[in-house]
Amino acid sequence: MNKFEQELKNNNFTCSECKKCDKLVWPPSDFCNKCFGDVMWRPLSRTAKLVEFSRKNGEYFCIAEFEDQIRIMGTIENVENLQVGQTLNLIKCDYDGKEKFIFRSIR
Amino acid sequence: MRKVGIAGGGITKFTKSDISIESLMVSAVKPVFDSIPDLSQGDIDAVLTSTNANNKYLANIVSELSGISPKIAHSVESLCNSGTNCIVSAYAYISSGLADTALIIGSEKADSPGLVLEWDKSRGQYKHPIYWSSMFTSAHMRKFGTTLEDLAYVGAKNHRNALDNPYALFENAYSIEDIMQSKHLTENVRLLDCSMPCNGSAAILLASEDHIKKICDQPVWITGIGQKAISAGFTRNEDLSSMKSTIISAADAYKMSKKTHNDIDVAELHDAFSICEIIELEDLGLTRKGEGGSYVRRLHETDDRKINPRGGLIGSGHPLGATGIAQTIEIFQQLQGKAEKRQVDGAKTGLVHNMSAAATSSTVLILEQ
């Protein structure tokens, strides 16, 4: 497991950030994708914006956007009256060979 | 830059039967030589292989198995658009003068390691392509009111077209009702909205203008190329009702060929899922944004073969590394007037669209008589 995956497993959603130019580097990497500078790891906001969603059987999955730039796919637990653009809370992340993100809708 | 043309092609039946990747490749080389009597192994300057298989040194292996000792031999991998990436590499070798002829061979097995991009962290636990397809579908439905029935017309049309493609995996027609009632994989992606991985092989011979006249009396020219890799991760494509890499590739290909969407008589589009064909029709400028669904309905109702005459990926099957080459062979045959029951009358200019991994990259080729 790399640093990102280890942190996810501990329910910490972190991302690499460039020490030199402060750019948030997604996907997580050991080098900045703008200036190739070294990175440090910092926690991301647990609040996200719902970009799009669909459903498989009873389970809702979605794209959520963090800090106006990082988009990931995850599961939404409570699903009443979901609306694109609404706020989601990242209540759990994990790693078991795949990255897992679980959200709750905030209304 | 030297002019580059297509001199011939060979395809094998797409199947689920078990066969080695090397044999698959040689089985598509054979019909290339069979169809060009004046071609000998010694004429081939470059052999490029297109596949996601993990086998090593395949271009050299297939060269040896085919009795070819080329100057240049290597493999090209770019997931689902490996085939057209391979064609573009061969084009560059020929147009630059490094080679006069290039044999491009694309093959894949049904259990290809290229089916799912495990690297993509942005997909979370939803790595399988049905999930990105479902996101595109939700977005297009939300923005333009596209319906599940609109999507069903893509599959019905392409499966019907595939009935006239002797190399297609599928040999049955599916009605709108069949597709509407097929198993839901997500709320807006059904089994019959999906292309199917399979075994398949396709090979194509490119040559310079000077050389092609010696071996082919009806070459088809590659006059436009557009390629764009936005990213590898799915979620970089901001507007999910559109495919940014396709829009950019199309603009570059049209510009290079000095053609517009109005000039396209026949096109092969990368319908990995039903929604893809609808979005691509719009992003290639073949219909207005939001009207892809009604455009496909009209094609189906009038039995118009202009889009995906061989049945697309949905009707033909999708052997990843072979797909872009099989698409290009279809347009080659269409522009030669040799597409038999699939022929679009009077086709003079054609387009190939091939993309990878949720349209994170796209290739567009323009071909002309």
What does the DSSP 8-state code read for residue B325? H
Residue B194 sits at φ, ψ, to 5 deg, of -105, 145
- Please write the tens of the pLDDT for every residue from B314-358: 999 999 999 999 999 999 999 999 999 999 999 999 999 999 999
In a shared domain, residues A39 and A84: no
In a shared domain, residues A9 and A59: no
Res. A80: pLDDT tops 90: no
Query: What is d(CA B327, CA B308) in angstroms, rounded to the nearest whole number?
Result: 8
Inter-chain contact A71–B134, Cβ cutoff 8 Å? no
In a shared domain, residues A64 and A93: yes
Chain A residues with CB under 8 Å of a chain B CB are 4, 26-28, 51-56, 61, 63, 70-75, 84, 98-101
Res. B218: pLDDT tops 80: yes
Average pLDDT of chain A is 95
Res. A107: pLDDT tops 80: no
Q: Which residue of A has its CA nearest to B186?
A: A56
Strands A39-43 and B101-108: unpaired
Say whether B53 sits in a helix, a strand or coil.
coil
In a shared domain, residues A58 and A102: yes
Q: Which member of A27, A52, A61 has the closest CB to residue B122?
A: A27
In a shared domain, residues A36 and A71: no
What pLDDT sits at residue B18? 87
Question: Looking at CA atoms only, how far is residue B346 from chain A in angstroms?
Answer: 43
The predicted model gives A32-59 an average pLDDT of: 96
In a shared domain, residues A97 and A77: yes
- Please write the tens of the pLDDT for every residue from B39-84: 999 999 999 999 999 999 999 999 999 999 999 999 999 999 999 9
pLDDT interval class at B254 (50, 70, 90) = very high
What pLDDT sits at residue B138? 98
User: What's the sign of the alpha-carbon dihedral B361, B284, B324, B166?
Assistant: positive
Domains of chain B (ranges; CATH) run: 4-110+199-220 (3.40.47.10), 125-192+223-368 (3.40.47.10)
Query: What is d(CA B74, CA B333) in angstroms, rounded to the nearest whole number?
Result: 27
Say whether B332 sits in a helix, a strand or coil.
helix
Inter-chain contact A27–B124, Cβ cutoff 8 Å? no
What pLDDT sits at residue A41? 96
In a shared domain, residues A53 and A38: no
Q: What is the CATH number of the domain that holds A53?
A: 2.40.50
Q: Pick from A56, A95, A100, A103 the residue to mutate for testing the B interface (most B CBs within 10 Å).
A: A56
Question: Looking at CA atoms only, how far is residue A20 from chain B in angstroms?
Answer: 23
Number of H helices, E strands in chain A: 1, 8
Say whether A41 sits in a helix, a strand or coil.
strand
What pLDDT sits at residue B35? 96
Q: What's the domain count of chain A?
A: 2
Percent of chain B whose pLDDT exceeds 70: 100
Q: Which residue of A has its CA nearest to B137?
A: A54
Average pLDDT of chain B is 97
In a shared domain, residues A33 and A57: no
Percent of chain A whose pLDDT exceeds 90: 92
What pLDDT sits at residue B145? 98
- Please write the tens of the pLDDT for every residue from A34-46: 999 999 999 999 9
What pLDDT sits at residue B53? 96
In a shared domain, residues A53 and A14: no
Burial class (CB in 10 A: 0-12, 13-18, 19+), B73: buried
Asked whether the ipTM of the predicted complex exceeds the cut of 0.90, the reply is: yes
Q: Which member of A51, A54, A98 has the closest CB to residue B127?
A: A98
pLDDT interval class at B190 (50, 70, 90) = very high
The predicted model gives B142-159 an average pLDDT of: 98
What pLDDT sits at residue B36? 96
In a shared domain, residues A96 and A71: yes
Return the higher-pLDDT residue of A30 and A107: A30
In a shared domain, residues A33 and A63: no
* Range of the structural domain that residue A90 is part of: 47-106
DSSP H stretches of helix in chain A: 3-9
Residue B52 sits at φ, ψ, to 5 deg, of -105, 5
In a shared domain, residues A61 and A94: yes
- Please write the tens of the pLDDT for every residue from B98-117: 999 999 999 999 999 999 99
DSSP H stretches of helix in B20-128: 21-35, 58-65, 82-96
Neighbours of A14 (CB within 10 A): 18
Inter-chain contact A63–B240, Cβ cutoff 8 Å? yes
Using a CB–CB cutoff of 8 Å, tell me whether B239 touches chain A: no
